[in-house]
Structure 1
Amino acid sequence: MQDNQADRVDAGKGNRERSIGAIIAETRHLTADQVENVVAYQKKHAVRFGEAAVAMGVASADDVIFALAQQYHYPVAFDEQARLSQELVALSKPFSRQVEAFRDLRSQIIMRVDPSVEGERRPLAVVSPEVGDGKTFVAANLAITLAQLGSRTLLVDADMRSPRLHEVFGLQNAAGLSNILSGRAESQVIQQAPGVPNLFVLPVGPTPPNPVELVERPAFGLLLNELISKFDYVVVDTPAAAYGSDAAVIAARCGAVLVVARRDESRVKALGQLTALLQQTRSKILGVLFNEH
């Protein structure tokens, strides 16, 4: 990511061949004199072009992030910020230490749920003991980082108790999973996530009075099998285990599960009860994540 005097390169080259400075200069419509001044500042203070441009007030930190994203083909969502929640740090802060932790998590998930390995292709349920542990935050950002690799990724909101994914992504929730499971889906219910070309979202739809019964139906398992055959990864958000047996039922249908707990907040007893319950199902526990967000 180091940039230097070679910032002024042929604008006809692809983004990967262009420096961060060249992308910033084009994005901000910098004049030749402005570029010369930034380069002079860069040399004098031994900093990168982006840092120099921000210091001189001709570019913003968001401009630098955008340039990095363009060069390394990482989707960012500055144009969608008004619609998207700030929880989507993988889009708004793609090069932060927080998002680097999500990339580490992504690597661990890929090693355990590899879509190219026979028998390993399965949906991933994200579960947590209590409300507010951050499972929706984790599920959404994990799905984004998977999609950023170019993998077709589907994020399913199966939290029919307190659904949030449609709010987080700024999507319509008129129809979704509950319509499919109740046999009332009359139109396309999977939506493209704004700002991420390879990410799709299946919202809950109308909140049903019988959520447990819906996910216990064979139709839910059949739906997941169909979805995993069409997407590289399927990440499923679930209700908190405190609501009832929904999370365990969904995890059993998925076959793979990631447990989320909040550091210094989640109760050890509740976490132990949840993991013990999951061990009684057919689901494979991939790990326990302690959320500090």
Structure 2
Amino acid sequence: MARNKTTSRSKRHLIAKKDPKSPITEQYRTIRTNIQYASVDQAIRSIVVTSTGPMEGKSTTTANLAVVFAQQGKKTLLIDADLRKPTAHYTFQLPNTFGLTSVLTKQAELMDAVHMTDVENLFVLTSGPIPPNPAELLASVSMEYLLKEAYNLYDFILFDTPPVLTVTDAQVLANLADGSILVTSSGTTDRDGAIKAKEILTSAHAKLLGAVLNNKKADKDTHYYYYYAEH
């Protein structure tokens, strides 16, 4: 189990980029290591990050994990697959005229839609224009083709997806990816909700690697992230 210090003001901040030597970043690296050793039979190259509900820190977790994977020297692609409330273009200060939806609807090629970032080895595919049918797009054959192409171009792929209890998008992608991580928040996520989210992912044949618990107070000034892997 790894612990990760943070404060509410670090929400959506790229602490792993801004302060790579901080204890918080070190804990993101610990999570990275746990992911890499979560499977002894198959190398994990794609991860879906989801949550039970909104405002639990899934996008912050995804972005910082992408940074630490890139810092390890892996050519990393973060795909903003939250086609309802995308945030990656804000986090990385990127345009969002074209993105995932553009590629899935064949309005753009993957390589043309992907953005380089100022973090070496880190690339971002923003959401693109928000569509009227997110779940259908993510479940399309085009999504399977996109993932196959991405495997040929990148070492590691992370999907930021909508909360699993609200829509089916995360289930669809979790079935395609090598593993999934569930982000929860202390004081926000209830136990029944977390159990239900796990059941939904399991029923979708997703390989749930573990969970991240955000905002767990250890004392009056400190918050932690916890991560555990299920083997």
TM-score, normalised to structure 2's length?
0.83
Compute the displacement of 1:99 (Å). 1.2
1:189 equivalent in alignment to 2:117: no
More relative contact order, 1 or 2 (CA 8 Å, 6+ apart): 2
Equivalent in the alignment of 1:172: 95
How many residue pairs match? The answer is 205
Aligned partner letter, 1:191: H
- The letter of the residue matching 1:138 is T
Corresponding residue for 2:8? none
2:15 alignment counterpart:
89
Q: Which moved more, 1:132-141 or 1:282-291?
A: 282-291
Letter in 2 for 1:109: I
Task: Confirm or deny that 1:161 pairs with 2:87.
Answer: no
Find the counterpart in structure 2 of residue 275 from structure 1: 198
| In 1: Cα distance, 2:205 partner to 2:102 partner | 26
Q: Which residue is equivalent to 1:142?
A: 65
Identity of aligned residues (%): 34
2: CA distance, partners of 1:135 / 1:180: 24
The Cα offsets for residues 223-269 of structure 1, whole Å up to 9 and x where unpaired, read as 11221222111011001124311111111121310111012211211
The structure whose Rg is larger is 1
Deviation beyond 2 Å, 4+ runs, structure 1: 119-122
Cα offsets for 1:155-200 (capped at 9, x unmatched): 0000001000000000010000001111211681000112x11000
Q: Which amino acid aligns with 2:34?
A: Q
Which residue in 1 is equivalent to 2:7? none
Q: RMSD value over aligned CA atoms?
A: 1.8
Mapped partners of 1:163, 1:250: distance in 2: 16
Alignment of 1:31-46 (within 5 A): none
Cα deviation, 1:261-282, whole Å, max 9, x if unaligned, reads 0122112111111100111123
Structure 2: gaps (5+ residues)? 1-10, 216-222, 224-231
Instruction: Report what 1:106 is aligned to.
Output: 32
In the TM superposition, residue 123 of structure 1 has moved relative to its aligned partner by: 1.3
Whether 1:227 aligns to 2:150 is: yes
Give deviations 1:51-78, integer Å, cap 9, x for gaps: xxxxxxxxxxxxxxxxxxxxxxxxxxxx
Gaps of 5+ in 1: 1-84
